[in-house]
Amino acid sequence: MKYLFNSSGNWIAFKIENYLFNANANWIGWFPWGDEHAVDKNGKYMGSIFDNNRFYKINHFPYRGYPGYPGYPGYPGYPGYPGYAGYSPRPMNTKDYTPEELKNLEN
């Protein structure tokens, strides 16, 4: 399991294998290309993992084609709480996520 944070150091999501879950343990996306770039359940680019396990959306991310659908991953179980990661400046041309924004992606 890899915990993911925003630039404020708040825990916003976690990754298990190629699946992305929000802090409520609801499946919100996946990593179809086996790299750091995630898409939502509909195949639309969501964000990328950067250094220090930060998750940001890259503005104007190039289209990589429709990644397909991975199938439902099941319930990952209770993820625990990783604590606060501390502030980290965002890379240029990226957008930060709040826990609330990722919670809204559950549906």
Whether the CB-CB separation of 89 and 96 falls below 8 Å is answered with: no
pLDDT tens digit sequence for 15-32: 999 999 999 999 999 999
- How many CA atoms, within 13 angstroms, populate the side-chain half-sphere of residue 9? 6
pTM of the model: 0.93
Position 78 pLDDT exceeds 80: yes
Q: Nearest CA to 6 among 87, 73, 79?
A: 87
User: What ranges in the chain are assigned the alpha helix state H?
Assistant: 99-103
